[in-house]
A = this chain, B = another copy of it.
Amino acid sequence: MKRITAGFLGCGGIGCGVWDLLQDMQGVIAHREGLYIEVKRILVRDKDKKREATIPRGLFTTDAAELLNDPEISVILEFMGGEQPALDYLCQALEAGKTVVTANKMAVALGWHRLFAAAQQGGGGLYFEAAVCGAIPVIRTLQNSLQGNRVEALMGIVNGTTNYILSQMAESGRDYDEVLAEAQALGLAEPDPASDVDGFDATYKLSVLSSLAFHARVPYGTIHREGIGGISALDVAYARDLGYTLKLLAIAKRDSDSIDVRVHPALVPDRHPLASVRGAFNAVFIHGSAAGDMMLYGRGAGSAPTAGAVVSDLVYAAKQSHHPIPSFEHREELPPHLRMEDNWRCAFYLRFEALNQPGVLGHIATRLGEHQVSIEAVVQRHTEGNERVPIVILTHQAREKDLRAALKALDPAVAQARGVLRIEGQQ
């Protein structure tokens, strides 16, 4: 029986979940894996705080050094969240040769370079499956199951809160503000929802996912980010009638020499596997050069699913005699360039508010055509008597900057774009 001694940094919901899971699974892990895991010390801010798990008070400490300087503790499990002081602690632990298992997406996304350097120096392992998409084994898949592939595209629904809100809007026809308020009342959205609804959370995760997918560093700050705050129930309903579902997507695409990396709401065709990912579930869709289309689906948050991922990492780490560290110094043959908004291509959904008179559709279509934006479909409902009417247009793939220029060239007295959404995942 191999024995490992672990310390926890932090003991909130996930930490308590890991504690309970280790108690519950101890016998099973010993039988299956020949492994006994002891938790020796737990760093907390307040030893007397009431917690969800029953943990012997003697394990708690408020002094990180009691873990980081203890040579008997070989693995540090971190659930503090936030960039600091977690990142400093993790780097100290790695430099001291300890293995780190973390559920902290911010520390990994922002401290990537420091963490890998510290792991390389100390020789311990760095595991972060729980930091991105909870129970979904996407980190392990990108690291260990796609070596025969170039990843050409990755599209993820990586934030459960926004997916819940968008699913509710689609199913009930209600407005964003109303559904957000309900999600907050249910505890499914934070009182300050910015981290989720403005796309920050998804952007941290995409930084990690795209870096692994492309074997290249994709820093957090280079990712284009838009949230779901401006989404109108009208556009969700039109899109549904046209056979599309609105999702907040974390997108990373590559062609031979450049990559797009962006987080924004997008329409996906109803037959695309991402369209049926409902409620708080997460999913990551990957197109590999050999594998073709694949998708991993599951619970992206919650204390039990995240704790399961932490324990899997812990057991996996304990069985490695040599910890693999991805090295982004070794670039692939063509170093990728980041393609910015000006250059990427998308299909678009456009909703115009237009004068109800002859020639208006011609005006819009002409401006689009002049900017190399070609129309795939038009929906204009019969609405006699109204002064202004909605016109919905789906375009073929076009350069985003051409589309933006076409919209600027419209005569605002004739037609104005009220809803502009990118379309992803078309065949």
Contacts and interface: CB of A to CB of B under 8 A. Distances in A.
Given A146-B312, A276-B276, A136 B333 contact: no
Given A137-B137, A319-B324, A331-B31, A311 B297 contact: no
Interface stretch (A56-64, A298-306, A385-393): A298-306
Contacts of A321: 321-322
Contacts of A291: 135, 298-299, 304-305, 308-309
A365 interface: no
Contact of A311 (B281, B290, B333): B290
Nearest to A134: B291
Interface string A278-298: 100100000011111111111
Nearest to A285: B297
Contacts of A136: 294
Interface stretch (A22-30, A112-120, A200-208): A22-30
Interface stretch (A67-75, A147-155, A394-402): A147-155
Contact of A140 (B141, B314, B319): B141
Interface in A122-163: 129, 135-137, 140-141, 144-150
Contacts of A147: 29, 32-33, 311-312, 315-316
A148 B25 contact: yes
Number of copies: 2
- Most chain B beta-carbon neighbours within 10 Å: one of A25, A292, A314: A292
A218 interface: no
Contacts of A277: 273
A351 to B, nearest CB: 27
A34 B326 CA distance: 11
Given A145-B312, A330-B31, A297 B294 contact: yes
B297 A292 contact: no
A125 to B, nearest CB: 13
A324 B318 CA distance: 12
A310 interface: yes
Contacts of A263: none
Contacts of A332: 28, 31-32
A215 interface: yes
A408 interface: no
Given A27-B333, A29-B147, A135 B294 contact: yes
Contacts of A319: 324
Given A148-B307, A291-B308, A292-B304, 10 more contacts: A32-B330, A137-B140, A140-B140, A147-B316, A148-B311, A148-B314, A290-B304, A291-B298, A292-B298, A294-B297
The 8 residue pairs across chains A and B that have the minimum distance between CB atoms: A148-B311, A290-B308, A294-B298, A137-B145, A135-B291, A147-B315, A148-B308, A295-B297
Interface of A: 21, 25, 27-29, 31-34, 129, 135-137, 140-141, 144-150, 215, 271, 273, 275-278, 281, 288-299, 302, 304-305, 307-312, 314-316, 319, 321-322, 324, 330-333
